[in-house]
């Protein structure tokens, strides 16, 4: 189910197959606030540093730097940014290498676009919940702390 | 601060002064689903274990087991249940002992009931966000996990 939060998200999509990249980016770009594209893990990592997207979608097998290595490098810089992995059956051997890297979701290729939207919407909602929790906690801390009692 | 309806929550109110306990528990019953009361920290801890309330409101100075010790015992069992401390100016020296327990809010006695309701609504909003988070994390775990792709 698509929710309203997805349209506020910036997304980085990393895929070396130019046909797939153009097909999915064409469909995705209207559903999100901003879509950045990269054609390999190294470019993906650089765009992550430059744009600080809300969510990253990455293929596994890619030249220069593959999706697993890119995810590892990104995790060194950011422990919480949601990362989605797309994978074909040929990449399965690499899938378990992503264990412990905190990947939020896995999608089989060819990616079903509705499923991708479902996954991105769920992640967007979680990002929104975290934001609300942070502001709610901050408000509580400011309004109902010990200092308020003038010790 | 955003608020949330209190209709569905259960409260454990721990207060040794019977008049105060009766007044506020009566008023609280008009706002929440259920109010359980206890007259000291030991009784409060036992009721917490049997009832598992959504939110706990507790006085500090009480016979048998005071509010600080009760809160510490509760935290050993439950890291997350929100605890609200009410205190008079005479109890203030004990308040610093609650700093590491993870208290969601402090209220001066005599309690302003409207302020208490505001605080409960804010705390309840956090509980609702936690629930929503769990639901969405479960969706990711159930529908977009790695195992699904491993043949």
In order of start, what are the domains of chain A with their CATH numbers?
Answer: 6-149 (3.40.50.2300)
Q: Are strands A105-108 and A83-87 parallel, antiparallel or unpaired?
A: parallel
CA distance B101 to A98: 36
| Confidence at residue B1, expressed as pLDDT on a 0 to 100 scale | 46
Write down all domains in chain B, each with its CATH number in brackets.
10-149 (3.40.50.2300)
Cα end-to-end span (Å), chain B: 48
Residue B45 clears pLDDT 80, i.e. is over it: yes
* Residue B104 C-alpha, separation from nearest chain A C-alpha, in angstroms: 7
Kindly report the pTM of this predicted structure.
Answer: 0.86
Closest CA in chain B for residue A104: B140
CA distance B123 to B57: 12
Residue B13 φ then ψ, to 5°: -110, 115
Average pLDDT over residues B136-144: 95
pLDDT-wise least confident of A76-80, B89-93, B126-130: B89-93
* Residue A92 C-alpha, separation from nearest chain B C-alpha, in angstroms: 7
| Confidence at residue B93, expressed as pLDDT on a 0 to 100 scale | 79
CA distance B126 to B144: 26
CA distance B13 to A28: 51
Q: Which residues of chain A have pLDDT under 50?
A: none
| Confidence at residue B89, expressed as pLDDT on a 0 to 100 scale | 79
Q: Is A120 within 8 Å of A9 (Cβ atoms)?
A: yes
Residue B130 clears pLDDT 70, i.e. is over it: yes
Q: Is B140 on the interface with A (CB under 8 A)?
A: yes
Q: Which residue has the higher pLDDT, B89 or A115?
A: A115
The ipTM value here is: 0.88
| Confidence at residue B2, expressed as pLDDT on a 0 to 100 scale | 47
């Amino acid at each position: 189910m698509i929710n309203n939060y997805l349209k506020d998200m910036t997304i980085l999509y990393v895929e070396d197959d130019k046909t797939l990249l153009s097909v999915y980016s064409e469909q995705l770009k209207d559903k999100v606030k901003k879509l950045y594209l990269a054609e390999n893990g190294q470019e993906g990592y650089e765009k992550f540093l430059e744009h600080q997207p809300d969510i990253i979608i990455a293929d596994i097998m890619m030249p220069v730097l593959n999706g697993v290595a890119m995810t590892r490098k990104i995790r060194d810089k950011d422990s919480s940014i949601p990362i989605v992995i797309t994978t074909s059956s040929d990449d399965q051997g690499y899938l378990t290498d992503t264990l412990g890297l905190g990947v939020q979701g896995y999608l089989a290729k060819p990616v079903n676009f509705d499923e991708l939207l479902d996954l991105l919407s769920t992640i967007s909602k979680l990002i929104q919940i975290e934001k609300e929790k942070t502001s709610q906690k901050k408000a509580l801390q400011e309004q109902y702390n010990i200092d308020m009692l003038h010790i | 601060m955003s608020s949330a309806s209190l209709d569905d929550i259960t409260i454990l109110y721990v207060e040794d002064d019977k008049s105060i306990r009766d007044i506020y528990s009566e008023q609280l019953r008009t706002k929440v689903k259920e109010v359980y009361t206890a007259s000291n920290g030991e009784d409060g801890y036992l009721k917490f274990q049997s009832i598992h309330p959504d939110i706990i409101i507790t006085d500090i100075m009480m016979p048998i087991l005071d509010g600080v010790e009760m809160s510490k015992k509760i935290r050993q069992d439950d890291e997350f249940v929100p605890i609200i401390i009410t205190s008079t100016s005479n109890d203030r020296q004990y308040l610093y002992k609650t700093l590491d327990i993870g208290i969601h809010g402090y209220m001066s006695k005599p309690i302003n009931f409207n302020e208490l309701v505001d605080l409960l609504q804010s705390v309840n909003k956090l509980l609702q966000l936690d629930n929503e988070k769990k639901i969405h994390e479960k969706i990711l775990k159930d529908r977009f996990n790695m195992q699904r792709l491993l043949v």
